[in-house]
Structure 1
Amino acid sequence: MPVPPLSPAPLPGHVWFDVEDLLEYGRTNTRPSGIQRVAFEIQCAMRALPGMAHRVGFLRHSLDGRRFVIVSGEEVDGLYRRLTTYSGLRKDQGSRETGHAGAGERAAPSLFRRLVLQLPAAVRVPLGQLAVHQRAVLRDMPPLVRGVLSVVRQARRQDAGRVRRPFLPAPNDIILALGAPWAHPDYGALITHYRHHHGVKFGLLVHDIIPLLYPEWCPAGLPRVFRRWLTSTLPVTDQVFSVSTATRHDLEKQFPGVAAQPVRMGAMSPPDRKADDAASVMDHPYVLSVGTLEVRKNHVFLFRLWRRLLSEHRPEDIPHLVLVGSPGWLAEDLMGQLRNSNFLEGHITLILRPSDAQLDTLYRHALFTIVPSFYEGWGLPVSESLTRGKACLSSDRGALVEAGQGLAVHFDPDNLNDVLEKITRLIFGAETLGELTKRVERDFRETPWSFAAQDMLQMLCAVKQP
């Protein structure tokens, strides 16, 4: 049900956003995740509400994790601006040696490789595996070193700074956690301190509870940590929010007695258009899929789908598949299949770290988009596609149907034949794709992020202190 407009009466207290996870994420990452995007959009929308410009502040955790300290809005804005404008765009679509040159044109093996090939298989195979693992270690070592050095420098800078900037809220002030604060092992105790000693209210936005629903898609140990965090934090939360009705149902089923309230989700609006180097991938018509490369996102399904399309039709009639995202949890199998097939002989392109402007260019020039995920708490790539007037083929799991607003074409992510039939109609049926695109352009209604900010503020203001 729509929330009524904000009352013109003065609002009690200030709203403080816990941005510790954003600041920590920004240490070692160059592009924002979907969670950071949602949190920042709601924060900006909250500041833009009538009477709220000077009532919004930002917090991070003290070095011992037992208190909050204040950080400036300028620091938060600057970090997010860096994450969204950074351009480390890299394109991978297979090597020319195997993908574009004939067998007779391949370079001769090096002397070292010829020597290794003379070794017995019992030695040669483990040696090759060792070399592969060593390359992976060398690839991952620089980010690890940068992360350690960043932590040391941050601790030195903040050791005195955090002490000088304590957080002393007034009664009825509001603390909102919109991101992923579950890295804090005793977050419930931190919130309890401010609720009991300062009379603040606490609101928590839950994006999903995937580690509890599908632990097989997560790193070992994470489900246990996530459950322990929610078990200690939910009882001290004055209002639980969710990004979708699907997430609300999941949360209430796992934690009976918790009443979560969905907020009205917006979409990432296109940035100001300008020329950028994303145009370098426009050599062929393509279908776009945006999302971190992890097992839950089901990119292996797309790999199988494109292999099937290429086997059943002339390769020159099949658009390329452009994947935008960085490797995440349990992506080794996907990356191995891409490399071993030479990215399906160049028919799949992987784009890493595009800026927001470059990502917008990729959306605008795509034939349509596809989201094959097994589960999503919301589905920003669906919203982003519809916002730009692009037809979207989307899985029917989790909240993706909600995000599609009746305008996306949905399929079963376990059924290759289902999506094959639907995508074939879009690839070879220009009229079908044109009609779907026109329907999206005509009927899609973008939800302002101010709706989510307004929902949260009014619900928390209505909460009575115990």
Structure 2
Amino acid sequence: MSGYGTRITNAMRIFDISDLVEHARRNVALSGIQRVQAELGKIFLRRGLGGGARFIYFIQEKKFWIEIDPSEFLTIADHAEFRSGPVIANLFARIERAVRPFKFPEKSVLINLGACWSRAGYCQAVLQERRETGVSCIQFVHDCIPLLFPQFCDEGVKEDYSQWLACASFYADILLSNSQNTAADLRRFHRYYRDKRLSHVQVLGLNGRSFERQNGERVTRFDQLSPYVLFVGTIEPRKDHGLVFEAWRQLSSMYGENNIPTLICVGKWGWKSEQLKEFYAQDLELRNVIKIFDDVKDFELPRLYEGCEFTVYNSFYEGWGLPVTESLSFNKIPIHSSTSSLVEAAGGCGVVFAVGNQTDLVDRVEKMLWDAEFRAQAEQKLALQNPLEDWTMIADRLEQMADSIDPGCRIADYYESEMSYRLPPPKRRKGEKDEVAAEVVCQGENWIVGEWAMWMGGGVSNLNLPLKFPKGCVPSSLLVALMAPDTAIEIGLIVTLNGEDSHIGTANRNLVAGEITIIKIDLSERLKLADRKSILDVCIYSVSGLLPMSGNLDVQSPSKGALLGFCCMSGGNTDAEVAFRAKFGFPPRDSGYQTGSLTPS
């Protein structure tokens, strides 16, 4: 826990459950990431850990949070209602009407255990709350799959995820991972997003016992199933159900379909599963030995786990692998692939086959079915070494992490004045000290991540620069390096301080098509009265985009080019100005307003 030594034990815990709420709106059961939020949120709420627990939802269209009533949270977390039930319907009606944002209490800790990378404006909203209210933040990162295996994701997900992780690396006091494997992945990519010396990645293993026994009507629809093996997981290419299907076809061919257990697959048809779905529907031989249930609810899953011989879990890569843990919860041996975190999830109590190897999988299934000594040894090992623990123990460790955050030792999210900074896009970062994650300072949606630059869209592009001034040193000018688009354009810049309406500096400049211009903006002496840590807001717009009558900005104006870097410096600091010019190929004595050609590297 190095680096977070001062305890803030009375801080209110604020759980962002936006991901959980959205999932409940569209699905009939919880998946792995949502189950984590439900289990830990219930414990914090019912035990009153820390200063208590509150729940919030981020409205991306309005760029603020609203509070979720604990009863609404429990309705979802206890699997009492999904999709179009009255509680969820009323909740989203309230979200539509919301006009008053949630106000974070003093000394609060924002805990996001879900997936928020796709929520537009989320990073900027958290950064703003940190600066305005001093809220601390714990962000869970469940996996780095979009960065490692973009082929298993929709087009553009890798770029969106990379942008989010860059920003989360700055706004989070602690980045949580669910396994040592995911932590290693995070540290691998971490150096591209912030100073390599600042490591705030910690592990919170998800080896909690799943599925509390619930009172209610007995599940009967699976009573007539023959002996079966269970495979739980969304049907998608990353899980490679096709490999397991072919393994069962091979077993059927070797032993006869009446002499092998049925493979029961539980999971919704997911991303790019159409081909496998059609293949399964047309293959009578497969349908005789494999049954797929895509509508199983949470209260039904325990019945399936309890009745199976053992489980199978195949995947090319995982952040954790919750179905493996669920299998252990019912003392069922999981046969799982050898990849990533699955060995951790099984705690050494699983039967491992080489990832992607059908022959190896068939061999392990055969041993579990017909090698009595092999199976007895595996079951005895599980009985003696089952690695699972109660979710309350995991909640306790999360609580200790929250307590250990020192609000006086903030993550370094202010940039030094007198320093020159570049803004390379994610693919061009090398983890150097003069690099700024553009996702942190480029505010709003009017930015485009390019192959080698951050491009400004039409209309207004806003730059949010949190700066730290040396003692006794007041910046007097701001340097901005811009590259024009393919056509010449006149650019205007307006600089304001700490969200105030009145500007402290302006500039207009003609940019030559396809070339770099360094613009120098003189800043008002009002900066002398500003705090040493202040935020400069820079509005960049196309002068031709001004509407003559209202003075507003036309969001349909053409692209304004690329933002390459910035430097805020005090008067007479020629060294800082020379260093900034040098980054973009300008000679030391250049006037600052001439252009130069740019060759991407």
How would you bin the TM-score normalised by the shorter chain?
A: 0.7 to 0.9
Distance 1:420 1:159, change over 3 A: closer
Determine the structure 2 residue equivalent to 1:74. 71
In the aligned structure 1, how far is the partner of 2:201 from the partner of 2:262?
41
Kept in 2, the 8 Å contact 1:371–1:392? The answer is yes
For 2:283, the equivalent position in structure 1 comes to 341
Q: Are 2:362 and 1:362 equivalent residues in the alignment? A: no
The residue that corresponds to 1:263 in the other structure is 204
The structural deviation recorded for 1:297 is: 0.8
Please state if 1:297 is matched with 2:232: no
How far is the alpha carbon of 1:53 from its aligned partner?
7.7
Q: Cα–Cα, structure 1 residues 343 and 61, in superposed 2: closer, same or farther, change >3 Å?
A: farther
Specify the code of the residue in structure 2 equivalent to 1:233. Answer: A
1:96-111 equivalent positions in 2, closer than 5 A: none
Q: Equivalent residue of 2:263, what SS?
A: strand
Provide the rounded CA distance (Å) in 2 between the counterparts of 1:269 and 1:155.
28
Partner in structure 2 of residue 163 of structure 1: 99
Alignment pair present for 1:279 and 2:222: yes
User: Which moved further from structure 2: 442-451 or 300-309?
Assistant: 442-451
Provide closer, same or farther for how the CA distance between residues 52 and 302 of structure 1 changes in structure 2, counting only shifts above 3 A: same
8 A contact 1:18–1:58 mirrored in 2 = yes
Q: Indicate yes or no: 2:45 matched with 1:44.
A: no
2:57 is matched with which residue: 36, 55, 60?
A: 60
CA contact (8 A) 1:46 1:454 kept: no
Say which SS state the counterpart of residue 300 (structure 2) adopts.
Answer: helix
- Aligned-pair Cα RMSD in Å: 2.6
1:447 to 368, 371, 389: 389
Q: 1:387–1:152: structure 2 CA closer, same or farther, 3 Å change rule? A: closer
Aligned counterpart in structure 1 of residue 109 of structure 2, from 174, 181, 188: 174
| Matched position secondary structure for 1:175 | strand
**1:207 corresponds to:** 142
Q: Is the 8 A contact 2:10 2:51 kept in 1?
A: no
- Specify whether residues 339 and 192 from structure 1 end up closer, same or farther in structure 2 by C-alpha distance, changes over 3 A only: same
Pairs within 5 Å for 1:393-412: 393-412=335-354
How far apart in 2 are the matches of 1:306 and 1:463? 50
1:417 Cα deviation from its structure 2 partner: 1.4
Whether the 8 Å CA contact 2:11–2:50 is kept in 1: the answer is no
> Please, which moves more after superposition, 326-335 or 450-459?
450-459
Whole-Å separation in 2 of the counterparts to 1:246 and 1:299:
23
- Tell me how far 1:460 sits from its aligned partner: 2.8
Partner Cα distance (2:89, 2:72) in 1:
19
* Residues 211, 302 of structure 2: 8 Å contact kept: no
Q: Please state whether the residue corresponding to 2:160 is helix, strand or coil.
A: helix
Shift of the alpha carbon at 1:156?
5.0
TM-score by length of 2: 0.62
Which aligned pairs between 1:181-260 and structure 2 lie closer than 5 A? 181-256=116-191, 257=196, 258-260=199-201
Structure 1 residue 289: Cα displacement: 0.5
Q: How far apart in 1 are the matches of 2:400 and 2:27?
A: 34
Give the distance between the partners of 1:461 and 1:286, measured in 2 at CA: 46
Using CA pairs under 8 Å that are at least 6 residues apart, name the structure with larger relative contact order, 1 or 2. 1
Q: 1:186 to 1:151 in 2, by over 3 A?
A: farther
- Structure number with bigger Rg: 2
Give 3-state SS (helix, strand or coil) of 1:32's partner.
coil
Q: In 2, distance between residues paired with 1:345 and 1:293?
A: 16
Deviates more, 1:424-433 or 1:200-209: 424-433
Change (3 A) 1:155 1:349: closer
Q: CA deviation at 1:286?
A: 0.8
Distance 1:296 1:310 in 2: 25
Superposition pairs of residues 363-442 of structure 1, within 5 angstroms: 363-442=305-384
1:24 paired with 2:17, answer no
Is the contact made by 1:412 and 1:418 (CA closer than 8 Å) also made in structure 2?
yes
**Aligned CA distance change for structure 1 residues 196 and 416 (closer, same or farther; 3 Å):** same
- Structure 2: how far apart are the matches of 1:163 and 1:153? 16
Is the contact made by 1:271 and 1:356 (CA closer than 8 Å) also made in structure 2? no
CA distance in 1, matches of 2:212, 2:275: 33
Question: Aligned in 2, Cα 1:262/1:210: closer, same or farther, shift over 3 Å?
Answer: same
The answer to whether the Cα contact below 8 Å between 2:33 and 2:115 also exists between their aligned partners in 1 is: yes
Structure 1-normalised TM-score? Answer: 0.79
Quickly say closer, same or farther: Cα 1:302–1:63, change in 2 above 3 A. Answer: closer
CA separation of 1:173 and 1:53: change in aligned 2, threshold 3 A: closer
Amino acid at match of 1:15: R
1:352 is aligned to 2:297: no
Equivalent-residue separation in structure 2 for 1:388 and 1:56 (angstroms): 30
> Structure 1 residues 75, 153: closer, same or farther in 2, change over 3 A?
closer
The 1:45/1:264 distance shift into structure 2, 3 A limit, reads: farther
Which one is further off, 289-298 or 333-342? 333-342
Q: Give 1:152 shift.
A: 10
Partners of 1:304 and 1:388 in 2: CA distance: 27
Instruction: Tell me the CA shift for residue 281 of structure 1.
Output: 4.6
Shift of 1:434: 3.4
d(CA) in 1 for partners of 2:255, 2:239:
26
